[in-house]
Structure 1
Amino acid sequence: MKGKRSRTWSILLILTLLLMGGCSRPAEEAQGNTEEKLLVYASFYPMYDFAKNIGKDKIDLKLMIPPGVEAHDWEPTAKLMGEMEKADVFIYNGLDIEPWAEKMTGSIENDQLITVEASQDVDLIKAEEHEDEHEEEEEHGEYDPHVWLNPMNAMKQAENIKNAFVKADEENKDFYEANFEEFANKLRALDEKYKQELSNMKRKEIVVAHAAFGYLANRYDLEQVAITGLSPQEEPSAAKLAEITEFAKDHSLKYIFFETLTSPKLAQVLAAEVGAETLVLNPLEGLTQEEINAGKDYIAVMEENLAALKTALGE
């Protein structure tokens, strides 16, 4: 009898342990899933970077325009639009740099989607007027869309993104607010560094591949002369190239800037014509995969841009 009772207790103990294990697993899984991340889509790199700084590990962040692809002429696929049906937040710059954005949001069946036009409430500058008639039609719109190249504008865009995250996930408001303040302080420091290091340069004129640097030039009292207009795909006329060549010679410019995601050919031809060298000035419309793998981000690239500007303006 004693051995029988012992076996019975052993069986009961094993069954109890099995039941406890079976009950605890869903509880553990539930505990692991208590914090659902916001699903966030960002149109192109600066929007992605700002969102990443604010959302950190509480968001599942997707970059829509792939690394190394120029932002001006990209279009979303039907597959991507279908995936966005599940998104919580969609971030885009606005000002027609993503002409597909508003059309896409209008066609997505997702009443809960929070859409952020990050350039809202930024002080805008008018698009440059070009002499060529065809260029008028190819520009983005009335205003220059490259607002993020002024760190103070970038801070406003980051604030707009932060507000959207708070709206979508109010429980984590303090987290997003703290991250925004941390990033804003980095942007203030970057702005101060630009102001201090560019204030005493012997030159103020920069010749750039396309007219992306108007906000940066305005902020730091520089003069931007662009080979092409707001879109790098534009082709300048012979008269325009002759005018820029004369400008570069008159000002004895030693450097002509080109970009990483577009052909450097025009900048190289112009540099050869005026006896100058070429340097990269990155408009941050997108990073290459190599740059991302190397750990570069908005702040790092803007610091590289500052170093390039100091080289060009200091000679």
Structure 2
Amino acid sequence: MSTRPSYIIALILSLALLAGCTSSEKPGVGQEEQNPTIAASIFPVYDLVRNVAGDDATVVLILQPGSSPHTFDPTPSALKKLEGTDIFFSIGLGLDGWVSNLTSTSPGAREVSLERGVELRASEEEDEGPHDSHYWLSPANAAIMVQTIADELSREDPANAADYAARAAAYNKSLMQKVKEWQAELADLPTKEIVTFHDAFFYFADEFGLTIV
């Protein structure tokens, strides 16, 4: 039996999670004179952060979409983006290990790895380390990441803590609604086997009862 329909739906749902649930703002767009200034290592992190931050913080993306975090070599322009950064959100687990070096060059910046509190699975790749670093592709983990982001932004900017909390709650409510919709779509599939183009979708597959072949 063909796995193509399953592959297409899984790809669409994964891209939807990567793109977020509510924001369509382009990377790097923000209120330049707002504080605090927040950096995000990769786009999935950036998208979660900007949805929680709203207009109360400037959010900058360091690694542009389409670039690999595994081979990223920080450029002068990337270093310039970090000027005045208060928090640098990262994935950790070796995926974006260059964040620590960048943070050390930006006085006052502190790195926050979003792996805290999420449920990790064993890595399927020998060269990746003990844990799969693509944990944001689990909606349950993404919701935990959103809460961590809200907590850290509130710690940095207590005056806007209520707004950060409200946006985080709204985002997670929207995400959980999407999960219900995706579950309904997947329930009608004739097979739960999917084909992926990258060994990054195991968290997604686990959460929705899919098998990667």
Question: Does the 8 Å contact 1:146/1:213 carry over to 2?
Answer: yes
Mapping of residues 113-128 of structure 1, within 5 Å: 113-128=109-124
Distance in 1, Cα, partners of 2:64 & 2:168: 25
Q: Tell me by how many angstroms 1:79 deviates.
A: 4.6
Measured after TM superposition, the shift of residue 44 of structure 1 is 0.9
Deviation sequence 1:258-282 (CA, Å, 0-9, x none): xxxxxxxxxxxxxxxxxxxxxxxxx
Q: Provide the residue aligned with 1:177 in structure 2.
A: 165
The aligned counterpart of 1:190 is: 178
Q: Which amino acid aligns with 2:46?
A: Y
Does the 8 Å contact 2:34/2:58 carry over to 1?
no
Matched, 1:206 2:194: yes
Q: CA deviation at 1:100?
A: 1.1
Residue correspondence of structure 1 range 239-258 to structure 2 within 5 A: none
Matches within 5 A, 1:155-170: 155-170=143-158
Q: Which of 178, 201, 219 is residue 207 of structure 2 equivalent to? A: 219
**1:108 correspondence with 2:118:** no
Match of 1:7 in 2: none
Which one has the bigger helix percentage?
1
2:5 is matched with which residue? Answer: none
* Pairing of 1:1-315 with structure 2 (within 5 A): 36-81=34-79, 83-105=81-103, 107-110=104-107, 112-128=108-124, 136=126, 139-225=127-213
Do 1:126 and 1:143's aligned partners in 2 also have CA atoms closer than 8 Å? yes
Say which SS state the counterpart of residue 71 (structure 1) adopts.
coil
Q: Which has the higher contact order (CA 8 A, sep 6+)?
A: 2
Report sequence identity in percent: 30
SS of residue in 2 equivalent to 1:141: coil
Aligned equivalents of 1:141 and 1:102: distance in 2?
A: 18
CA contact (8 A) 2:85 2:106 kept: no
Question: What is the alpha-carbon distance in structure 2 between the residues aligned to residue 222 and residue 100 of structure 1?
Answer: 33
Q: How big is the shift at 1:140? A: 2.3
Q: Is the 8 A contact 2:60 2:81 kept in 1?
A: no
Structure 1 residue 94: deviation in Å? 1.2
* Partner Cα separation in structure 2 for residue 141 and residue 104 of structure 1: 22
Letter paired with 1:122: V
- SS of alignment partner, residue 208 of structure 1: coil
Instruction: Show structure 2 runs of 5+ residues with no match.
Output: 1-32
Separation in 2, partners of 1:36, 1:83: 15
Structure 1 residues without counterparts, runs of 5 or longer: 1-34, 130-135, 226-315
Partner AA of 1:120 in structure 2: R
- Normalized against structure 1, the TM-score is what? 0.54
Tell me if the contact between 1:152 and 1:191 (Cα under 8 Å) persists in the aligned partners. Answer: no
Contact 1:85–1:108 (Cα < 8 Å) also in 2:
no
Give the Å deviation of 1:51.
0.7
**Superposition TM-score, scaled by structure 2 size:** 0.78
What secondary structure does 1:155 align onto?
helix
Give the total of aligned pairs.
Answer: 181
For 1:44, give the aligned amino acid: I
Distance 1:220 1:125 in 2: 15
Tell me, yes or no, if the aligned pair for 1:39 and 1:87 is still in contact at 8 Å: yes
Q: For residues 82 and 198 of structure 1, what CA distance do their matches in structure 2 show?
A: 44
Indicate the RMSD between aligned Cα atoms, in angstroms: 1.8
Residue identity opposite 2:75 in structure 1 = T
CA offsets 1:47-98 (integer angstroms, 9 cap, x no match): 1110110101111111101233233321222453354241011111111111
